[in-house]
A = this chain, B = another copy of it.
Amino acid sequence: MPSAFETDTAVQRMSAGCYEANVADRWHVGPVPNGGYLLAIVVRALAQELPHPDPFAVSAHFLRPAQPGRALVEVEAVRTGRALSTGMGRLLQGEREHLRVLAAFGDFATLTGPTRVTGTPPALPPPEECVRGRAQAAGGVVVEMARRFDTRWPPGTPGWAHGGPSGVAEEALWLRFADEHPVDTLALVQIADALPPPVMELGVLGWVPTIELTVHVRARPAPGWLRCVARTRFLQEGYLEEDVEVWDTRDMLVAQSRQLARLTLQR
């Protein structure tokens, strides 16, 4: 049986470089579909158009919110090489473009270079000692997307859901799909934008729409729980970065992302 993620990011080829998709209503944050979810639809179309299977580097610029319903994805193979291929994709509804994407694809099965790692995964109590995440953000916003995931938070976190914001814009948690479907390299692109904004730990209430999101997928994830860490260090005049790392059960970094977002205060 296909997973919710596979079903809701499916694309159908209409003609050369043109795909049809249906934006579902199961990945909303408040009233609009999550940007990483829209991005995954575009990346799936690119994966069909390009010869390499894994998105290595995906850069997305978000232009305006989308709506549930029919969407077109236009893709262009920009360059096809031996190790890497690069494509561009656009998501359109009616005449309006919502998202433009550049992506480099490769094949993790073929890599042979050296490995030297100094980063370490976040320290977390085991999932069974953690607390299940809820489908609500600070300020009472309903996050339908959160129901697609099983997240487990260290007891007492996030602060904004347990008495008060911690004052440090950082969070770490376990994550898997609610339907326990394995996470592939394409799903990692969505997951990089699926966490609650860590800036909520600063006690600021508002929307944090993504302007630009880049995801580097660094390995195919092993089956089982993922560990995610997200952090904002620089909120400057309303603009902020969100850095995310995703680790698998082998203690391997499988994705690293950064987005630039704009905080729009609720009051």
Q: Which residues in A have some Cβ–Cβ distance to B below 8 Å?
A: 56-57, 59, 61, 63-64, 78-79, 83-84, 86, 88, 97, 100, 102-104, 108, 111-119, 168-169, 202, 204, 211-212, 214, 216, 218-219, 233-239, 241, 252-253, 256, 258, 260, 262-263, 265
Contacts and interface: CB of A to CB of B under 8 A. Distances in A.
Contacts of A219: 236-237
Nearest to A117: B234
Given A57-B211, A211-B84, A214-B258, A115 B237 contact: yes
Residue among A79, A113, A233, A241 with the highest chain B CB neighbour number at 10 A: A113
8 contacts: A56-B260, A88-B100, A102-B212, A108-B237, A114-B238, A118-B234, A214-B214, A236-B253
A256 B241 contact: yes
Nearest to A203: B116
Contact of A216 (B204, B235, B260): B260
B233 A117 contact: yes
A108 to B, nearest CB: 8
B265 A113 contact: yes
A79 B62 CA distance: 10
A92 to B, nearest CB: 12
A113 B237 contact: yes
Contacts of A212: 56-57, 59, 102, 104, 214, 216
Given A111-B238, A119-B233, A119-B234, 17 more contacts: A57-B61, A59-B59, A59-B102, A59-B214, A61-B104, A63-B79, A112-B237, A114-B263, A115-B237, A117-B236, A118-B169, A118-B233, A118-B234, A214-B258, A219-B236, A234-B256, A236-B253
B59 A61 contact: yes
B61 A102 contact: yes
